[in-house]
Amino acid sequence: MSLAQELLADLEEEGDDELDEFGVKKEEEDDFIDEITEEKPLMDITKYERVTDVAKLTNSANYMELKAELNKYVEMEEVPKITIPIESDPQYILVVRFSELATEIDQEMNVIHKFVRDKYEKRFPELESLVQMPLDYINTVKLLGNDIDTNSRKEVIHTILPAATCIVVSVTASTSQGTKLEQNELDIIMEACSMAEELYDQRMKMHMFVELRMSLIAPNLCRIVGAGTAAMIVSQCGGLTPVAKMPACNVLILGKQKKTLSGFSSSAILPHTGFIYHHPIVQSLQPDLRRKAARLIAAKCTLAARIDSIHSSMDGRIGEQLMQEVKIKLEKIQEPPPVKNRKPLPKPLDKASKKRGGKRVRKQKELLKATELRKKANRMNFGELQEDVMQDHIGFTMGQAKSSSLPVGSRIRAAVVDNKTRVKMSQKLQKTIEKTRQHGGVTSIAAKGHGTTQGSVAGTASAISFTPIHGLELVTPVQKEAGKASTYFTASTNFIAPTGPVIKKK
């Protein structure tokens, strides 16, 4: 890079700093994408007679100079080695200039394509919609000429267009409404086609030269994205040193506002997509993984450019390691999610299921089953009008529970109890209840302090005794038993003299 170019780059950096001081962010400026495919709108080509009136690149001094330099370096058998700093090497400067010229050639191809399209639509107007790519269209026009019958040139046209497109062009040409061109008009079109072929050949030579030299200038960067993409990245930044100083997020969007390159669609412009996004490695992935892969490759390109800028690892060994890491990560993100372990079904063995039963379950079933009254209410006699048929009142019918066919005074039978499933009382409990009934009955089966009713007496049990003092006297057996069981000291009385027989002393 010359001194004037370095000063110009410094002024551009200062201009960016001034924009930052006024609150203008570069990211916001980059987010805006001009929906254009060319820097300048194409002029009205229909009023020009010759292609040299609109396509002036081949006659420019810069093109002629670079063409001569290219022929000189292509004829060299051995590639000269770089012995001075890269920025001062003539080959490096020539690589940057060739990269810029390749972009101008792509724009010139678009201009020539429009010129040929406007001139040739008189002969074959449908060809424009059948063949979209500029170079394929120009080669097809040069092959067909004034005779658009493709039957005699099937083998040649198959080398230019795909098989499916060839069939469509052949069928459409047989029904085309175009008219034949004059000889002078055909010569003008052929001159434009020859110019396009010459530009394409020069571009391929430049591409080969850049690929050979980039392996010497930036070997590690070429191992990751290839020589062609590496040359475009370096030429876009103005050298290898600016690429090394640039963050990965800016390397990712290099070339995003450039015009459509040859081989890519010109129908839409994707935001934040540049040279790396259109790389074959990224385009070979699924659409939802391309941006992630482009960010990954951009980060590795930044590392490789920094290594190349300090002239380290000139054999490209570190670049190979970085590319291997990229491949491993790309394979990792393309792996399908892990399959969930599915629990197998149990063996279809016909075993008898365990059903809960017993007294408690049978008792619950008897409580919840339909009563006889409900069964009768749900049944209807055939040929008998119900109560709600005449709509005298709104209500529910009782069915057979209130049927006129039943005899007067008839009653519904009680529910039939199955003695086999009936909850039965244990024999011990039956004997205990029988004993209590013999003693006059009790209000509670359980005795105080005992688990059974043995030895308990009902509170209403009493006896009538005849005494000589009071005559008839009611005696409570419970109180009598309590008096006998009392001791000398009780909680309610003081000392009590013994009532037993007094033993006289001798």
- Residue with more model confidence, 10 or 183: 183
In CATH terms, 39-217 corresponds, of 3.50.30.40, 1.10.10.60, 1.10.287.4070, 1.20.58.220, to 1.10.287.4070
Rg (CA), the chain: 55
Q: Each residue of 183-225: pLDDT tens digit?
A: 898 899 999 999 999 999 988 888 778 777 788 888 899 999 9
Mean pLDDT lowest for which of 327-336, 348-357, 416-425, 497-506? 497-506
Q: How confident is the model at residue 469 (pLDDT cuts 50, 70, 90)?
A: low
CA 3 from centre of chain: 52
Alpha helices in 238-289 (DSSP H): 240-245, 248-252, 280-283
Output the CA–CA distances (angstroms, integers) from residue 371 to 360, 363, 386, 413, in the order listed: 19, 14, 21, 10
Q: What is the DSSP letter of 467?
A: E
CA 323 from centre of chain: 27
Which contiguous run of DSSP H or E holds residue 465? strand 463-467
Six-digit token pair at 122?
């008189």
Q: Would you state the pLDDT for residue 485?
A: 55
Q: How confident is the model at residue 484 (pLDDT cuts 50, 70, 90)?
A: low
Six-digit token pair at 287?
């659409």
- Residue with more model confidence, 505 or 50: 50
Q: Would you state the pLDDT for residue 265?
A: 47
Name the burial class of residue 161, with classes exposed (0-12), middle (13-18) and buried (19+) by CB atoms within 10 angstroms of its CB: buried
In CATH terms, 226-335 corresponds, of 1.20.1440.230, 1.10.246.90, 1.20.190.20, 3.40.50.300, to 1.10.246.90
As a whole number, mean pLDDT of residues 336-354 equals 81
Tell me which residue of 427, 424, 444, 425 sits closest to 436, measured CA to CA: 444
Asked if residue 465 has pLDDT above 50, the reply is yes
The residues spanned by each domain of the chain are: 39-217, 226-335
Asked if residue 329 has pLDDT above 90, the reply is yes
Residue 444 CA to residue 424 CA, distance in Å, equals 20
For residues 25 and 248, the answer to whether their CB atoms sit within 8 Å is: no
Q: How confident is the model at residue 302 (pLDDT cuts 50, 70, 90)?
A: very high
HEC assignment per residue over 396-434: CCCHHHHCCCCCCCCCCCCCCCCCCCCCCCCHHHHHHHH
Angle between the N-to-C axes of helices 183-217 and 219-237, in degrees from 0 to 180, rounded to the nearest 10: 130
HEC assignment per residue over 336-362: CCCCCCCCCCCCCCCCCCCCCCCHHHH
Q: Each residue of 426-460: pLDDT tens digit?
A: 888 888 888 887 765 554 444 444 444 445 555 55
Q: Which residues neighbour 74 within 8 Å (Cβ) at sequence distance 6 or greater?
A: 205, 208, 209
- E strands, 166-304, in order: none
Tell me which residue of 112, 116, 300 sits closest to 218, measured CA to CA: 300
Same fold, 39-217 and 226-335: no
